[in-house]
Amino acid sequence: MKIKITKYEEELVAAAEKFLDAAEKNPSSRAVLERYGYSTEERDRGRELVRDAKLAFEWEREGKAWRFISKTPERRKAEAKGWFSENTRRYVQSRFKAAEEAAGWTGIGPAKSWPLSRKLTVGVALAAKEVVKAADPSFWLEARAELKRDLENAKGNAPEGAPPPKDTVVVELRGWYERWHLLAHRVFRGRNDLLAPFGLTSGKAPPRLRGKAAREQYGEGAGGKLDGASADACAIDQDDDDDGLGPDPLAAKPEPQRPTKSLPIVN
C-alpha cells in the first residue's frame, strides 16, 4: 500500500524539532516550561518521535516501510487485504467524484454554470470518460501486484531497524507537540522574544485555549496535571512578572452583578 507523505506531516516534524532545539538553546525559557512538566523524559521522548518520524518518511520513500501492527501472519494478511480494499475503494470514489465535477453537478469548475441541457449532453459525455477510468487496467494490475507483495511480506517479521509505521508515529508526535506548543503559547503570552525561538508568534490565543475546559488543561492550573506535580508548586507566582508573564488573560472573570430594583415597602 502506497502512503503519501503530506506537507503537513513534514511541517509537523520540522516544528517539533525546532521546538526541541529552542528549549535546548534557551535555558531560561526551558526552566519555565520545566515547571509545567517539560522534563528530561519528555524532551527525550520528543527527540525519539522526531527521529522515528524522519526514518519512517525515509522508508516510505524507498518503498520498504513496515506498516503492519499485528503480531501474527494471519492478522497481518488481513491487514494487507484491508489496505487493498481501502485503496481500490478510494480510487473508484475519486473517479465518480471527478465524473460529477466534469458534468457540472458538483464542484466549482466551469461546467457548474452550464445550463441543464448542456450538462445532460456534453456533461454526461465528459462524466462517462471519468467513470471509464475507474476500470483502468493499469491501476488494478498495480494494486493487485502490491497486494501480492504485502501478503508475502506478512509471512515474515519486521526488518531489523524498521521504524514504527508512519501514521502511528505521526499521531504520537502530533499529540506531543500539541501539548507543549500550546503550553508555550500560554506561559509566554505577549512575549515575542520568548516565543520566536520556538517558531511561535504571540497574538490571539489558539482556539483550544479559549474555553473553560482548555483553561483547565493548559492554563495556570495545568501544571498540577503534568507529571503528577501539584498545582501550587507549578502555579505562576509574582516573580514571573520579571519574565513577562503577567496576569492570566484567559482566567475566568467574575460576572458583573446586575443591579436589582428594590421592592417597595408595604406598610
Distances (CA, A) of 190 to 51, 91, 186, 243, 247: 32, 47, 9, 11, 11
Distances (CA, A) of 64 to 56, 67, 74, 81, 101: 10, 9, 20, 18, 36
What is the per-residue pLDDT for 109?
83
What is the per-residue pLDDT for 263?
37
Q: Spell out the domain ranges in the chain.
A: 7-62+167-237, 73-153
What is the per-residue pLDDT for 203?
64
| Cβ atoms of residues 243 and 257 within 8 Å | no
Angle between helices 7-25 and 27-34 (to 10 degrees): 100
| Cβ atoms of residues 197 and 33 within 8 Å | no
Q: What is the DSSP letter of 109?
A: S
Query: By C-alpha distance, which of 40, 76, 22, 58 is closest to 184?
Result: 22
Total residue count of the chain as it appears in this document:
267
Q: How many CA atoms lie within 13 A of 108 on its CB side?
A: 0
Weakly modelled stretches of the chain, pLDDT under 70? 1-2, 203-267
The string of DSSP letters for 52-81 reads HHHHHHHHHHTT-------SSHHHHHHHHH
Where do we find the cell 495556570? 220
Q: Rounded CA gap, 207 and 205, in Å?
A: 6
Q: Rounded CA gap, 242 and 220, in Å?
A: 17
Q: Rounded CA gap, 186 and 102, in Å?
A: 47
Q: Which pLDDT tens digit goes with each residue over 115-159? A: 988 888 988 999 899 899 999 999 999 999 989 988 998 898 888
